[in-house]
A and B are shown apart, each in its own frame.
Chain A
Amino acid sequence: MCASVKYSARGPALIPRMKTKHRMYYIALFSVVLLGLIATGMFQFWPHSIESSTDWSVDRHSVHDAPLVHLSASDPIPERGDLSCRMHTCFDVYRCGYNPKNRIKVYIHPLRRYVDDLGAPISSTGLSREYNELLSAISDSDFYTDDINRACLLIPSIDVLNQNSLRIRETAQALAQLPRWERGMNHLLFNMLPGGPPDYNTALDVPRDRPRKYFILSSQIALHMEYRTELETLKAENGEAMLILDKCTNLSEGVSSVRKRCCKGQVFDYPQILQESTFCVVLRGVRLGQAALSDVLQAGCVPVILADSYILPFSEVLDWKRAAVVIPEDNLSEMYSILKSIPAKQVEEMQRQARWFWEAYFRSMKNIVMTTLQIINDRIYPYAARSYEEWNDPPSVKWASVNSPLFLPLIPPRAPGFTAVVLTYDRIESLFRVITEISKVPSLCKLLVVWNNQNKDPPEESQWPKITVPLKVVRTTENKLSNRFFPYDEIETEAVLAIDDDIIMLTSDELQFGYEVWREFPDRLVGYPGRLHLWDHEMGKWKYESEWTNEVSMVLTGAAFYHKYFNYLYTYKMPGDIKNWVDAHMNCEDIAMNFLVANVTGKAPIKVTPRKKFKCPECTAIDGLSLDQTHMVERSECINKFATVFGTMPLKVVEHRADPVLYKDDFPEKLKSFPNIGSL
């Protein structure tokens, strides 16, 4: 669209220079294209109206078309429900069966119009708007099945939301007539009147962060005098911080009284006024549940619930303690001091939580019904139930929080030792030196050589150095860097030492100490040379920094201890295309590992001992400065790439490293556990 407009505007300037014939031709071509585009645009941008109008004309459904069912007074009335029902006594699990998706199937009984002997309907409202929405939501969801034989849960289409508009006896008869009613086994009824509907037509998305002028607000119109008097007493004690509203008595004609509240002649808009208070009172009324709760949540006002023995909605999964204050009715007089004692940060948390509950679970009939079905689903497949965090953490917390998969504070025993995994290609001599060196580390349990060279066979068994621990060689099918992080079955310890085939300068003490430190931090990367990422303000991107910094955020995996779990994560759970990218570039597998671990644990790696480089200083001199430069550029690129894929910068910067307790202390060297700690 945009493009075509631009060209046609430019057109006239070009056209005069052309021959008339061509001009005609082009004008024709343009108009055709333009028309076509406009038409498509029309079609594209107003598809709904077109669609729905055809929908109406083709497929007009009316509740009045539903078949009539005559109930006779002699029809059986079902037995009274069993109040002691539990899932394991009154619910038939066989109907739900084993199901790889762990998802229940829900069937909706088709709509019928029930009338009694005299032809009078059994309900004054018939199918209500809300119940219709509720059933549509189910039928649009993946819970829905149209096959009654496959259904685990059945939902009558008889609307019982409002008990007051029902004829109880006839409704009971109607329910009893449903196929497979069976005393209501596996049936779900929705009843809302105790509670009232969420007023989700109210557009409340006007400014959200209005200043909250009032500390406590009571906006319910139908409060009993007894409570109102108590509230007034509280207000008298605490003054302007409290606002107690009531129904308006002197509104001019045409103003809906539902949307107005008054206090001493002053008129306030409801529910907007809820946004101006920190706490909103939800008091017991005629019924326990109050429609006000939903309005209050939506306004992000913290509900203060004074309704003893009220089971808060969805309390089976929602942790209301994080969103509401529950005070016993008898303590109403202490409400002010109780609320005052809540720290400001907690109030903020609760406001956010209240708002989130509303957004996710109460906003519409659809949200309400889906939450209900999900709760039942969780009961039937408890091992696949949604977690507390999934239910309760608002998206911002889900995003910022870290739930480490290795969350138990455990310091594993020294005894199982660690498995060293050496990645090698063809540097046999250096490899053998590394093997001989590592084999001196007391806690080494097994050596695994990952032979990454497909063109060359590993040396004969007899040529390998003789060491006391088992040595295994694994041959790979492709020369990939990610082979080093594969969770080989041969790794039987939880501690893994990844080591390059040219790292010969690490002493046995250094390695053993590294293992000891890893035991104290089994959920982290524990390595020797540390590296840092920095934000380059000039370039507006991340930069890689290698030496002599006072901080670290990464450790090189040329020699590092880590949990085998991270091998599994690296191989199977690495986000995006990072793994392939690393294999293609033959670089940055260590940076990727650092990102992965930091992202999943929220913790920084641990750098042990002063070790700064793997290679001797002379070696870098030979490599030359320019090579070093390109290396740095490539590594910086990696950091930027990974940060984009992770959608965040998970690396954590710290200023400490771990040394043996007596490192460099004025103390006899021979009494130190780890005397031989190298410096560079």
Chain B
Amino acid sequence: MQAKKRYFIVLSAGACLVLLFYFGGLQVRATRNQSRREDRLRSPEQPWPHFSDNLQSFLPREQLANEDYNMHLSPRQKRDANTSLYKGKKCRMESCFDFSLCQRSGFKVYVYPQQKGEKISESYQNILSAIEGSRFYTSDPSQACLFVLSLDTLDRDQLSPQYVHNLKSKVQNLHLWNNGRNHLIFNLYSGTWPDYTEDLGFDIGQAMLAKASIGAENFRPHFDVSIPLFSKDHPRTGGERGFLKYNTIPPFRKYMLVFKGKRYLTGIGSDTRNALYHVHNAEDVVLLTTCKHGKDWQKHKDGRCDKDNAEYDKYDYREMLHNSTFCLVPRGRRLGSFRFLEALQAACVPVMLSNGWELPFSEVIDWNTAAVIGDERLLLQIPSTVRSIHQDKILALRQQTQFLWEAYFSSVEKIVLTTLEIIQDRIFKHISRNSLIWNRHPGGLFVLPQYSAYLGDFPFYFAALGVKPSSRFTAVIHAVTPLISQSQPILKLLVAVSKSQYCAQIIVLWNCDKPLPAKHRWPATPVPVVVIEGENKVMSSRFQPYDTIVTDAILSLDEDTVLSTTEVDFAFTVWQSFPERIVGYPARSHFWDSNKERWGYTSKWTNDYSMVLTGAAIYHRYYHYLYTNYLPVSLKNMVDQLANCEDILMNFLVSAVTKLPPIKVTQKKQYKETMMGQSSRASRWADPDHFAQRQTCMNKFASWFGTMPLIHSQMRLDPILFKDQVSILRKKYRDIERL
């Protein structure tokens, strides 16, 4: 007993001693560190000493208080006095742009009528038609906020055949010119051999420039827009997709860094290209130049030319472009080159060597995420720099090149729209896109900031914000037949949908010519039912962004749709995993009809699909907004006149945004049969014209989009235990299997 206690005490004392040594030891080590630091401190004045003086604040309180009351000049006058300095080369939006023109009818762009006898290059024609086809276009100059010339200003190289003479006087004679105020001038080439200045050869006054190869010295920040240099073959709309088909791991390709291009023997821009051969190693860094260009290259030929030319001919440009991890984009005669867009499309990460080039759309695009910005002065370090870039980073850079290419560069229309949206964002600063919107899929052109200032209201940013879509949906039922009997499908539908645990409210869109039925005719439901009278009773009104819809999800329904509560519940849980897609039941498919050389539409049961009917589908409410505000009037009118194809158009739109197919979920199979049954809509479906119309619609839509956005899928999502051989009582969505 005693001994036990004694041991205990000795032990505890020992523990304490150990503790003591431990703390003590720590302390000693700490002080030792301390003293070492102090040694360093004592070395003459280094690093910055810790002064013991009681130092004053740099800003005496009185100064701030006093000067504030010395204001005689009104801040507005002061601002105006300041801005008057910022003209011409120093133009800023505040000093050279008349915001008041945009207050009246919003951001509208006027294009001067084309004058007879004026030659317009194909590229400029594409730019003008992109503007005229956009939702910003107005033909009334008094409505306009921005003016675009019909005089071709793209090529201002005097030696070029496209050069327009006497531009100066032509511009001055425009009666709306107003010294260029609120004008936007597009330009791809300026200056000529030998110095290639960035001067356009006429007085642009206070006009904004959307110019390729613009140098930081001449770029007026937040006023000019830097656009990419594109060739005359650049498609007007649509455009090719990026060349990246899949992500490879490890992300390295055959070559590390490549370049193939001209070497200028004399004149501006020759330094960097002349030095490239120092870095070339003929293995994974292949930088090739040729002297062979122009008529009299032999005259200026230097010692390296023959060797370089021979090496140059050994490699194929396309092959290198597609098989290289990085592509060098050095300055040419001008700062920018076609190579930049070519590399971007080929998923070859551009390595920029063009000091002072204001990169395309640099105001909104974060180029560090898609390119390596090198410094011409450090050319020799470039190989080690690109080799030091981590694999994960290469993977990300490469994917971003593809995103940016498809979002902003693949067609003239995208380049023009991006330019206009950037300017619009400047004018309406408080409803503009932030950097996240511009630099993330699906990109700024598909995200309209007027819809909401909150990113979580869009279907694209849930993961980036770490939030989830709201857990309820709003059902929108499109009603076209008068309410006569109590056995009409719409009433059954109303009851079935309202029983869903996820249903927040039901909106009945009354698109029937007959007046609204009395309130008591609607069945009693556990959720509120709102009846809205459709605007003009047209088809497109079912995709109106009604303010009454506050949930993220919309369940869009035809009045004759037959759905059970279980089917709705299941589809909604699926949608929560794919909030940016359309989740629906009956599916349709498209195919390329090579005999007729056009797109075909099929409603047959097939092994794949590319559309789901919006007569029964769940999608994000943002698509209502996008349908109404993004699509051109011409397509919406077509839908309204035919009273058909609205679902095809919606599928086109959503797939164009997401680049993904819709999602089909299980349904009870009698859906199709009922549709062919006795209801009013059946007539629509039975009509042979109906099918032909849909075919026509498809082709019309595809031509507006410039490409076929629809994508096929081969799968359907079913409940986990769907049709499994297990007691039906175990199944959560058992009603889907019951017929």
Decide: A286 near B718, CB < 8 A? Known: A3-B12, A226-B76, A662-B607. Answer: no
* B237: min CB distance to chain A, Å: 21
Cβ-defined contact, A549 with B399, below 8 A: no
Cβ-defined contact, B722 with A565, below 8 A? no
Is B373 a contact of A382 with CB atoms below 8 Å? yes
Q: Is the CB of B56 within 8 A of A129?
A: yes
* A98 proximal to B (CB < 8 A): yes
B64 CB–A CB distance under 8 Å = yes
Shortest distance in angstroms between A188's beta carbon and chain B's nearest beta carbon?
15
Q: A86-B216, A661-B607 are in contact. List 9 more A-B contacts (CB 8 A).
A: A59-B38, A161-B59, A162-B63, A222-B65, A286-B67, A321-B432, A396-B466, A400-B465, A658-B715
Interface string of B648-659 (1 = CB under 8 A from A): 000000000011
- A401 interface residue (CB < 8 Å to B): yes
How far is the CB of A536 from the nearest CB of chain B, in Å? Answer: 20
Q: Which residues of A contact B573 (CB under 8 A)?
A: 654-656
A440 within 8 A of B: no
Give the residue of B369, B376, B429, B466 whose beta carbon is less than 8 angstroms from that of A401: B466
| 0/1 interface trace, chain B 608-649, chain A, CB 8 Å (1 if under) | 110000000000000000000000000000000000000000
Verify A680–B725 contact, CB threshold 8 A: yes
Q: Answer whether residue B49 sits at the interface, using C-beta atoms and an 8 A cutoff.
A: yes
Main secondary structure of the interface of B (DSSP, over half): mixed
Q: Is B328 an interface residue (CB 8 A)?
A: no
**Does B688 make an interface contact (CB < 8 A)?**
no
Cross-interface CB contact of A602 among B59, B63, B463, cutoff 8 Å = B463
Residues of B within 8 A of A9 (CB): none
A37-B16, A86-B217, A286-B68 known; A659-B718 Cβ under 8 A: yes
Asked whether A93 lies within 8 Å of B375 as measured between CB atoms, the reply is yes
Indicate whether A78 reaches chain B with its CB closer than 8 angstroms: no
A392–B465 Cα distance when bound, in Å, is 12
Which residues does chain A contribute within 8 Å of B26, judged by CB atoms? 44
Tell me whether B55 and A129 are in contact (CB under 8 A): yes
- B residues less than 8 Å from A227 (CB atoms): 75
| In the complex, chain B residues 5-45 whose Cβ is within 8 Å of any chain A Cβ | 5-6, 9, 12-13, 15-17, 19-20, 23-24, 26-27, 30, 34, 38, 41-42, 45
The reply to whether B47 and A679 contact each other, CB–CB distance below 8 Å, is no
Contact A408 B719 (CB under 8 A): no
Query: Does A80 interact with chain B (Cβ within 8 Å)?
Result: no
A516 touches B715 (CB 8 A): yes
Which residues of B have CB within 8 Å of A487?
Answer: 249-250
Q: Do A656 and B9 touch (CB < 8 A)?
A: no
Taken together as a complex, chains A and B put the C-alpha atoms of A643 and B284 apart, in Å, by 43
Query: Which B residues are CB-close (under 8 A) to A257?
Result: 65
Which residues of A in the span 364-422 have a Cβ within 8 Å of any Cβ on B? Answer: 378, 382-383, 385, 387-388, 392, 396-397, 399-413, 416
The minimal Cβ–Cβ distance linking A111 to chain B, given in whole angstroms, is 7
With both chains docked as a complex, state the minimum distance between the C-beta of B88 and any C-beta of chain A, in angstroms: 14
| Contact call B24/A139, Cβ cutoff below 8 A | no
Per the 8 Å Cβ criterion, residues 251-297 of A in contact with B are: 257-258, 283-286, 291
A656-B356 contact given A129-B58, A285-B68, A548-B730, CB 8 Å threshold: no
Q: Give a binary string over B429-453; 1 marks a CB under 8 Å from any A CB, 0 the rest.
A: 1101111100101000000000011
Would B94 and A548 count as touching, CB distance under 8 A? no
Q: A84-B217, A408-B403, A666-B669 are in contact. Are A63 and B51 (CB under 8 A)?
A: yes
Which B residues touch A664, using CB under 8 A? Answer: 722-723
Which size class do B's interface residues fall under? 35 or more
Residue B434 contacts which of A258, A319, A402 (CB distance < 8 angstroms)?
A319
A657 touches B217 (CB 8 A): no
CB B239 to nearest CB in A, in angstroms, measures 17
Q: Which residues of A contact B466 (CB under 8 A)?
A: 396-397, 399-402
A520-B722 CB under 8 A given contacts A196-B59, A410-B245, A410-B247:
no
CA distance A326 to B27 in the complex (A): 53
Closest-CB distance, B32 to chain A (whole angstroms): 13
Q: Indicate whether B313 reaches chain A with its CB closer than 8 angstroms.
A: no
* Complex Cα gap A607–B570 (Å): 16
Q: Are B606 and A661 within 8 A (Cβ)?
A: yes
Q: Is A427 an interface residue (CB 8 A)?
A: no
Q: Is the CB of B399 within 8 A of A407?
A: yes
Say if the beta carbon of B527 comes within 8 Å of chain A. no
For A128, list chain B residues within 8 Å (CB). Answer: 55-58
Find chain A residues with CB under 8 A from B726 CB: 548
From residue A622, how far is it (CB to closest CB) to chain B in Å? 22
Mask of B43-83 contacts with A, CB within 8 angstroms, 1/0: 00111111111011111010111011111001110010011
Q: Do A409 and B441 touch (CB < 8 A)?
A: yes
Check B246 against A412 for contact (C-beta < 8 Å).
yes
Asked if A402 and B453 sit within 8 Å, CB to CB, the answer is no
Which of the segments A207-215, A342-350, A472-480 contacts the partner chain?
Answer: A342-350
Q: Least Cβ distance of B248 to chain A in Å?
A: 6
Asked if A327 lies at the interface with its beta carbon under 8 angstroms from chain B, I say yes
**A665–B668 Cα gap in the complex (Å)?**
10
Q: Give the CA-CA distance A198 to B48 in the complex, in Å.
A: 23
Query: How many cross-chain pairs have Cβ atoms below 8 Å apart between A and B?
Result: 407
Q: Which 8 A-B pairs have the closest CB atoms?
A: A400-B466, A222-B68, A128-B58, A139-B47, A139-B48, A412-B246, A346-B454, A88-B355
In B660-719, the 8 Å CB interface with A consists of: 660-661, 664-665, 669, 711, 713-719
**Residues on B with beta carbons closer than 8 Å to the beta carbon of A56:** 52
A602 to B466, CA, bound (A): 9
A405 touches B392 (CB 8 A): yes
Chain A to chain B contacts (Cβ below 8 Å), 18 pairs: A7-B16, A33-B13, A62-B53, A111-B49, A130-B58, A284-B79, A338-B430, A401-B465, A408-B403, A409-B660, A494-B247, A516-B715, A563-B249, A610-B722, A655-B573, A656-B574, A659-B722, A661-B713
Cα distance, A328 to B48, chains bound together (Å): 43
Partner of B377, one of A3, A93, A136, A221: A93
Minimum C-beta distance from B721 to chain A (A): 6
A58–B49 CA distance with the chains assembled, in angstroms: 13
Report how far A679 CA is from B725 CA in the complex, Å: 8
Task: Using A383-B373, A548-B721 as known contacts, say yes or no to A343 and B52 having CB atoms under 8 A apart.
Answer: no
The answer to whether B75 and A610 have CB atoms under 8 Å apart is no
Q: Which of A146, A321, A341 is packed against the most chain B CB atoms within 10 Å?
A: A321
**With a CB–CB cut-off of 8 A, which chain A residues contact B607?**
660-662, 671-674
Cα separation A196 to B65 with both chains bound (whole Å): 12
Does B159 interact with chain A (Cβ within 8 Å)?
Answer: no
Q: For residue A604, which residues in chain B have a CB less than 8 angstroms away from its CB?
A: 577
Residues of A with C-beta under 8 A to B356: 86, 88-89
Interface residue? B535 (CB, 8 A): no
- A33 x B17 contact (CB < 8 A): yes
Contacts of B67 in A (CB 8 A): 222, 286
When distances are taken between beta carbons in the complex, the residues of chain B under 8 Å from A407 are 396, 399, 403, 441
Other-chain contact of A328, B41, B429, B452, B609 (Cβ < 8 Å) = B429
Decide if B435 touches A196 in the complex (CB within 8 Å): no
Q: Which of B374-425 contact A (CB under 8 A)?
A: 375-378, 381, 384-385, 388-389, 391-392, 395-396, 399, 402-403
Asked if B47 and A144 make an inter-chain contact with CB atoms under 8 angstroms apart, the answer reads yes
Q: Do residues B51 and A33 form an inter-chain contact, with CB atoms below 8 A? A: no
Residues of A contacting B69 in the complex (Cβ-Cβ under 8 angstroms): 222
* Chain B residue at minimum C-beta to C-beta distance from A37: B20
* Complexed CA–CA distance, A13 and B229 (Å): 92
Nearest CB of chain A from residue B524's CB, rounded to whole Å: 30
Would you call A76 an interface residue if the criterion is a C-beta within 8 Å of the partner chain's C-beta atoms? no
| Selected contact of A494 from candidates B57, B246, B399, B664, CB within 8 Å | B246
Whether, in the assembled complex, B518 has its beta carbon less than 8 Å from a beta carbon of chain A, the answer is no
Contacts of B376 in A (CB 8 A): 88
Cα of A150 to Cα of B523 in the assembled complex, Å:
82
A530 within 8 A of B: yes
Complex CA gap A138/B26 in Å reads 29
Q: In whole angstroms, what is the CA distance A416 to B247 when docked? A: 12
User: Contact partner of B716 among A130, A285, A660, CB < 8 A?
Assistant: A660
**In the complex the two chains form, is A656's CB within 8 Å of B58's CB?**
no
Say if the beta carbon of A644 comes within 8 Å of chain B: no
A residues in contact with B12, CB < 8 Å:
3, 7
